[in-house]
Structure 1
Amino acid sequence: MTRTVFTGGTLFDGTGAAAADADVAIEDGRIVEVGHGLDGDESIDASGHTLLPGMFDCHVHVVLSGVNLLRDLSTPFSLQFYEAAANLRTTLATGITTVRDAGGADLGIAEAVRRGLVPGPRMQIAINMLSQTGGHGDDWMPCGTTVTTFVPHPGRPGSVVDGPAEVRRKVRELIRDGADVIKVATSGGVLSPTSKPKHAHFRDDEVAEMVAEATAAGIHVMAHAQGTEGILTAVRNGIRSIEHGIFLTDEAIGLMLERGTWLVPTLVAPRMAIAAADGLPTSMVDKAKSMITQHTESVRAAIAAGVRIAMGTDSGVGPHGDNLDELALLVECGMTPAQALHAATRSAAELMSLDQELGTVEPGKRADLVLVEGDAEALIPQGGAALRAAIRGVWQDGTRVA
């Protein structure tokens, strides 16, 4: 087995320690040693570079390549799977080696990555999002027809449900079909035809049922939750992460701290929706524009209070490959660059229950690594494009993949 050593670089190890000079040795897909003066069979000169753990994006949609309703109506059904392959490859090249797909990807896509048929980040998948009738995932249009973003097929069942009994059956079906996480919309959303972001969706008994079923299967629930009441419903019923969290209040933040609930802010998401204005109804674009200031204020308050943050983007609503833009927005909301990187490494790994294997550069962990020219922390406030341009290599399980 070949022992490869990254020498002479600065290591941001993701543990919370300050970045410092260190060598890193990898062998057989694992990190085997971190220290100084290490030797090996092969050497990679990291002088003038920062070595990072492989990064995470905890909220993506790999089968989407932007939201454009008119374009979607003329797109062949199976094209999404080929687009997913391209989107996964693009995401991997940004240094993101693990993602949580929040709806759209089915078991076949995840399995293609696991088997090495398609290069991409390792994946956890939600398959589809539970929605009440008239909720964020109900694609009924005012004209009386339905324009479905995620068309049901044998590996991706429809997921509009009402009442605890329907919830129970649908969660079990999604788990049977390979879901690693259950996703629910406990509020309305921006990119849905009739729902309003401030409105709460699903009642406590329904949310408690989905959490109970997921827990029985050893997995968690993530909640698209923008409005305050939807956030509160999710948190008090044991949902693990709030996605978006646009209308957070002191009460909601306090309850999240009490319960240890994570926030995945997706600050870039409404900006991506606005950029896609030509392909969306005016009502959706107007909703997105109205959210940005409130979203920023809510995330800033959550960060200041100490809510646990993991990085996620909602990529798929906008372009894949721009994922690192989220880090600069987290800094604008009060994080230091090191804290933003932590949100994309160890914190994200903890959210996804992968921290025993990933998220830090420590002996025994899987050798997911990103080599960045220059000081990675200094690049983050300059924006995602600056950090992307500085990436000089990406390794996954010790193999160079970009």
Structure 2
Amino acid sequence: MTNRLVVRGGHVFDPVGGTAAPADVLIEGDRIIDVGIDLDADTAVDATDHLVVPGFIDTHVHVMLDDVDTMRLIQTPFSLRFFQAARNLQLTLRAGITTVRDAAGADLGVKQAVTTGLVDGPDMQIAIGMLSQTGGHADEWLPSGECVHALWPPHPGRPPTVVDGVDEMRRAVRELVRAGADVLKVATTGGVISPRSDPRRAQLCDEELAVLMSEARAAHVHVMAHAQGAQGVKNAIRAGVRSIEHGVYLDDEAVDMMVQNRTWLVPTLSAPHAILRQSETSGGIPENMRQKAIAAIEAHEASVRLAHSAGVPIAMGTDAGISRHGENLRELELMHRLGISAVDTLRAAMTSAADLLDIASDVGELAPGKLANMVLLAGSEVSVEGLPERVRTVIRRGVKVR
């Protein structure tokens, strides 16, 4: 018979109702079997004076990246990145993140290392790579004329993803699905960290996006779109993507389209701030990248405010790998400072994130039948201020994290 574990004496947060109340959480195996008062079990975790919340979900990470310092990356042995990923996964889990969507970089082997228990980390969905056109956000061509694969080196587990035309798009999508992608990622605009792309410029034509979506539907996977400029956002929404990643330069029309199509926004507010911090200490951040990050911050914040006020569904994503692994919950503080309530901010990393990833039957709230993923936070107040420092205990699938 499986031993039962009870998390006893805490205030359990309900993201659906937005309230917290005294309760115990009873766990058997990797599932919650009851939430109530005076529950008993073989072993207990004392949660007195703690807020017990569902395990956090980060819907946009890059566990194979530590930063975007090109000079450091091109001098890093290829295989070392997998060992760094193991550390990054552990840091992420210890921070209270029990589920992630890796938005390019991690391959099927990295995911299986977590699934089989070889490496400690959160449950994973993986995109493997990012589809983009020549000169797009995944094209690492440099002004020198060289193409140095510093961020996204292709290898047998990560097929190349720079595509032009419908035939190349179709083949690349099928190769990503064959390689184990749970979700497809496409860049419909340029980005801050790509050497020669403009975040405001739309990329990929309607026909290319239509083939992508047709293949995605056939494979029963969703599509996430790196999209910063408003036109690229609109093109992605019309094509039928599930989420807009970043959404830096939204306008009223783009936001209206997101509301009408129930297209999710994953803001990743942490990313441009992280690039600016790195530019102050690293010689590997080129000036054009720094300038793009500076330009993005104010527009980014205004866009998130506009989207939230209009009712666009928002899920937490951090771009960890550009921002620091293990500091994921700082993203919730940034969201809260834009006027999003503490409860809605927490939902973005719980029920809303679970809905986006289509895993709400298993995670996102503490209820019977759900996976026993939870975090004990010091203090019983429902707040996101100082959230990373409040993390005391993390439980993933019924097991306390070491």
Which TM class, normalised by the smaller chain length? over 0.9
Give the secondary-structure state (helix, strand or coil) at the position aligned to 1:74: coil
CA distance in 1, matches of 2:312, 2:333: 18
CA distance in 1, matches of 2:206, 2:299: 26
Shift of the alpha carbon at 1:14? 2.5
Residues 1-400 of structure 1: pairs in structure 2 closer than 5 A: 1-148=2-149, 149-277=151-279, 278=282, 279-375=284-380, 377-378=382-383, 380-381=384-385, 386-400=386-400
Give the secondary-structure state (helix, strand or coil) at the position aligned to 1:111: helix
Contact 1:303 1:333 in 2 (8 A): no
CA distance in 1, matches of 2:293, 2:204: 23
Counterpart amino acid of residue 397 in structure 1: R
State the Cα deviation string for residues 195-244 of structure 1 (Å, max 9, x = none): 10000001111111111111111110000000000000000110000000
Counterpart amino acid of residue 164 in structure 1: V
Counterpart amino acid of residue 396 in structure 2: Q
CA distance in 2, matches of 1:16, 1:226: 33
CA distance in 2, matches of 1:251, 1:9: 45
Counterpart amino acid of residue 161 in structure 2: S
Counterpart amino acid of residue 50 in structure 2: H
TM (norm. structure 1) is 0.97
Moved over 4 A (4+): none
CA distance in 2, matches of 1:98, 1:363: 19
Give the secondary-structure state (helix, strand or coil) at the position aligned to 2:125: strand
Residues matched between the structures, number: 397
State the Cα deviation string for residues 50-95 of structure 1 (Å, max 9, x = none): 0010111100000000111111121111110000000000000010
Give the secondary-structure state (helix, strand or coil) at the position aligned to 2:71: helix
Give the secondary-structure state (helix, strand or coil) at the position aligned to 1:22: strand
Contact 1:30 1:397 in 2 (8 A): yes
State the Cα deviation string for residues 120-171 of structure 1 (Å, max 9, x = none): 0111000010010000110000010012111110000110001111111110
CA distance in 2, matches of 1:9, 1:140: 53
Contact 1:276 1:318 in 2 (8 A): no
Counterpart amino acid of residue 2 in structure 1: N
Contact 2:56 2:98 in 1 (8 A): yes
Taking only aligned residues, the RMSD between alpha carbons, in angstroms, comes to 1.0
Shift of the alpha carbon at 1:376? 5.2
Contact 2:275 2:290 in 1 (8 A): yes
CA distance in 1, matches of 2:296, 2:331: 16
Counterpart amino acid of residue 150 in structure 1: W
Q: Which runs of 5+ in 2 are unaligned?
A: none
Contact 1:304 1:334 in 2 (8 A): no
Identity %: 52
State the Cα deviation string for residues 234-286 of structure 1 (Å, max 9, x = none): 00110000000001111001000110100000001100111111221001001
Q: Which runs of 5+ in 1 are unaligned?
A: none
